[in-house]
Amino acid sequence: MHANNHSIKRVAVLLTALSLPSAVMAWPWSQDMMNQPSIKPQEGVMTPFPHRSVPVMGIPTKVASRDEAKDLVNPIPLSAASLKKGRTLFRIYCAACHGLSGKADSPVSGKIGAIDLTDDYVQKTLTEGWVWGTITFGSFVMPAYGVPGEQGGSNDLSVEERWHVVNYVKNGLVKESQVAAK
């Protein structure tokens, strides 16, 4: 009789728990996916890459900062093929913030402070090395696309790819936006 009472009590407790929606909804599997913890883009500090991780496509950079890159000369000759590669990479990596035209006209440009890459300051004052260094090491809100390290950096673009983007920004972007404006 004692074992039978114990089974009845266990069933009663289980039925009581299941009949109380608030108790059931407090269980771990009831969390709604919409309310899960997440990190939004440009939020917080990027987690550093694990020690001993190896970049998939990377060539070590010979300069240590954007300032040191200022006097570098683009080793990739300006050509239609380079502009085409640069344009494709620009649209993949840069257009989300700088806009397809480079005029900082994307939905997020104003929120993050992206600059107009067709502006005379960028086109006439900034050197190709400086632009390459900015792509490589990032800036205030722009992530690094070439150097993994303590501050993060995605290392998504090879050294050569970054130079193709520089060719496009300095030699194709303004011409393309002028044609589109007509």
Per-residue confidence in pLDDT tens, the chain, 182 aa: 566 777 788 887 777 766 666 555 555 555 555 566 666 666 667 677 777 766 555 445 578 888 888 999 899 999 999 999 999 999 999 999 999 999 998 888 878 888 899 999 999 999 999 999 999 888 888 888 886 544 444 557 888 899 999 999 999 998 876 666 65
Count of alpha carbons within 13 Å of 35, Cβ hemisphere only? 5
Whole-model pTM: value is 0.63
CATH match for 66-181 among 1.10.760.10, 3.50.50.60, 3.40.50.720, 3.40.50.300: 1.10.760.10
CA distances (Å), 169 to each of 61, 78, 100, 152, in order? Answer: 21, 12, 11, 24
Q: Where are the domains of the chain?
A: 2-35, 66-181
